[in-house]
Structure 1
């Protein structure tokens, strides 16, 4: 008896049996006996009965059909397809898409034209989280992370085991926050959470309380008020460089003990990232004092986020920029992908005309005194726009905020709407220059052309619904005013003849001379037809 477990071996065995049967029939009829034995010896067919194990059942030779397989490669192909479908089913069941809040930059937002946008998404100094952990150029910062952890444990006189066990309890919950599979082992992942989380908290607390008060030297190469601080702050604002906020909340709870205070980490993050704000009015000393007081257990702290819970540092900063702004209404998939509402074509995202065109139609621009850079108003032909500060980190900040709004379903598109709106307003360096003249736009870049180029590239390939924007009503009012011909004529008249007092005097003098000439002509014609009676 021979037991065959391999399907290919079984196929060849059955073919061999069929060949032997044909040879035996041929030898019996036409060939002598010695040839018959010769063929038998060459084939080397075992004389024992064959038993085949199929799906766990033992079948004998006579129960099987002796035929060659139709197509072995096709069978393997079908098996591979079934395996992929099974994997897709497992991913759909095991993966909870609603928990993802830290995303990879979508490929359509990547830099395909060499414009340098990739640097706005990829950290240059420090890696936070798993996505860029193995980048070689970021390795020098790892030893400073270990220094931060050492200082923290020494200052608190705590054991590292306390933090490791806390992060092990959160591991599954944290992994669910990241998009895509992670290759880190359990130990590596927990180590990363402890190391990166404590590193972030040391920066937050050091920036607020003073690094020297935390035990760092005044000339520390990293933990000091130096130029490196700006690069680290910028990297920590990138969408791919985040860890969940509840991890930081847990770590600071272990450091400070039982603190009856909500959103401590969020408040510290707002202080730390405030220099990146595009608002030209930083936090007041009173606000910072209230935030600092949150580190004391019995204090009542400043709450810029009210009852909202941030997802990570980028989300916290976004919420702080939009404080008291438009209500965050969760979007739904059918709304997001509806062909009727969704506009992916950049030509259809034109909300308003550029500054130069609007100015020619008689629209005026004035700076609005507010700390909400997104709060734009239009009334009686006057655009009231808050002051915006553009610096070296503004491009990276806006690109990552837009990428987050493009990826995360449960947030509004308010930053995207503002960026698209400003992109429509600014087409050239002349537009930037006029906004600067009006006090609306301040920048620290090389020239006005760089600012115009920055805004013109912020919204490339961005999917934006023009009907789902808090600025849609303002755009309608502006366009209605712009399309009224009388406003354009009046503006043209004012631009040509009333642009200064001397022009007004010249215009009035010309009108007066014109009236005198008309009067003289009238009396001349009148006297010709009706001469005076003498």
Structure 2
């Protein structure tokens, strides 16, 4: 028998074997009606048990919805360090665990305390902490408690080192992690991801054990704000009033959020971004949910025309000097927009802030409103270039095209109601100004015919020449109608 015949025979036998398995599987008797009903009841009871162990009111650390991940999942998943259970134990994040244990050893050496006190404290918070996360967490009680302790100590060591200096905490100046260089930027970016959060009450309790209970209110929030300052999308300094209010309850009072305790580091960062101005403009409507707001339709998300169209209508742009990057004003035909810094971490930062606002029912949509407003303004690289010329946008990306692409992609699948935006009234003012025919005519004339100083000079020269010609014609014709007496 030739080699080819052997291969054909082997293939034939395998085919027969697979066919027999399929037939056997199809011939298995179908479950009875009683068994089918019992299986359905088991599924219902399992759901009831899961609901009984879930506290929806405490839920605040969410998994990013799939419809947002489809746009760019790299912006939502940590690349350097895992915090919390969602990405715990992933292979590419395990190398950082060694440095987490280094932080624990350093804390224990400084405080002269035993590890049992910390573990007992985390054990007491376990049930409350589990309720903050979405779905079932597949870690045992001891593993979950260890994770809270280890990750929390690591975060606090970073916060305190960035505040006081890592050398003051006992680290070498050339430490690969505990130094404000090297991998620190990647760590900071991972720590503001929605799926990579620890409840703030866990950090508060760990810091209280380290420093004592006295006068620690708001300290973790203060440390977090200082630590994440390099990620801020503005370089305007805080006012003295804001500096003195950091960590206080009145400091964390966003435009529309309720006065509640801070939830986690991303929430602290967001509240810091949304520090209220003197008088925020009211919304046209309160936040409400309906099937219409779930439709991610660009036509429904239109807040304002793009820069090029607004310029053609005579609307001017000016950079507004304030550290509230979202505080946009419209006065006397000028759209005043605070300066926005864009770096390689901006996309991930804004993506996670938007995801949090999409998931958390008690959150306002102010960051989402701002991003969609900027998305509407920016339709092309030319729009970015003009905003940069006005001092409104400063970026460190490769080109203006990358900036335009960033804004145009951020809110592709986001649910948004323009009437529920803090920018809705401002947008209506701009739109009324844009729609005035005289403004449009003036702008078109200026844009097409008077776009440089020589055009003005030529126009006035032609006007003078026309007037002189009219005078000459008048005096030439006048004697015929009124001859001299």
TM-score bracket, normalised by the shorter chain, equals: 0.7 to 0.9
Residues 97-136 of structure 1, C-alpha deviations (whole Å, 9 max, x = no match): 1110000000000135xxxx22210000000000001210
Which residue pairs with 1:95 in the alignment? 54
Q: Does 1:111 align with 2:70?
A: yes
Q: How does 1:407-426 map to 2 (within 5 A)?
A: 407-426=359-378
Which residue pairs with 1:199 in the alignment? 154
Which residue pairs with 1:18 in the alignment? none
Taking the aligned partners of 2:376 and 2:396, their CA distance within structure 1 comes to 21
Offset of residue 254 of structure 1: 0.3
Gaps of 5+ in 2: 1-28, 254-258
Residues 453-495 of structure 1, C-alpha deviations (whole Å, 9 max, x = no match): 1111111100001110000001111111111110011112233
Which residue pairs with 1:29 in the alignment? none
Taking the aligned partners of 1:497 and 1:332, their CA distance within structure 2 comes to 45
Taking the aligned partners of 1:328 and 1:497, their CA distance within structure 2 comes to 40
Taking the aligned partners of 2:431 and 2:31, their CA distance within structure 1 comes to 67
Q: Does 1:372 align with 2:324?
A: yes
Residues 370-413 of structure 1, C-alpha deviations (whole Å, 9 max, x = no match): 11000001122110111111111111110000000000000100
- CA 327–495 in structure 1, closer or farther in 2 if over 3 Å, else same: closer
For the pair shown, the structure with the greater C-alpha radius of gyration is 1
Question: Relative contact order, CA 8 A, sep 6+: which one is greater?
Answer: 2
Structure 1 counterpart of 2:421, from 445, 452, 469: 469
Which residue pairs with 2:358 in the alignment? 406
Of 96-105 and 75-84, deviating more is: 75-84
- CA 204–287 in structure 1, closer or farther in 2 if over 3 Å, else same: farther
Which residue pairs with 2:40 in the alignment? 81
- CA 332–439 in structure 1, closer or farther in 2 if over 3 Å, else same: closer
Which residue pairs with 1:174 in the alignment? 129
Matched-pair contact (CA < 8 Å) for 2:286–2:420:
no
- CA 110–424 in structure 1, closer or farther in 2 if over 3 Å, else same: same
Q: Does 1:434 align with 2:407?
A: no
Which residue pairs with 1:37 in the alignment? none
Runs of 4+ in structure 1 over 6 Å off: 284-291
Q: How does 1:446-465 map to 2 (within 5 A)?
A: 446-465=398-417
Taking the aligned partners of 2:332 and 2:352, their CA distance within structure 1 comes to 35
Q: How does 1:264-343 map to 2 (within 5 A)?
A: 264-283=219-238, 304-305=251-252, 308-325=260-277, 335-339=288-292
Matched-pair contact (CA < 8 Å) for 2:159–2:227:
yes
Which residue pairs with 2:190 in the alignment? 235
Offset of residue 221 of structure 1: 1.1
Matched-pair contact (CA < 8 Å) for 1:287–1:302:
no
Taking the aligned partners of 1:328 and 1:286, their CA distance within structure 2 comes to 24
- CA 405–388 in structure 1, closer or farther in 2 if over 3 Å, else same: same
What is the number of residues matched between the two proteins? Answer: 449
- TM-score calculated relative to the size of structure 2: 0.87
Which residue pairs with 1:444 in the alignment? 396
Taking the aligned partners of 1:81 and 1:328, their CA distance within structure 2 comes to 50
Gaps of 5+ in 1: 1-69, 295-300
Which residue pairs with 2:86 in the alignment? 131
Offset of residue 513 of structure 1: 1.5
CA RMSD between the two structures: 2.6
Which residue pairs with 2:166 in the alignment? 211
Which residue pairs with 2:10 in the alignment? none
Residues 244-277 of structure 1, C-alpha deviations (whole Å, 9 max, x = no match): 0000000000000122231110110000001100
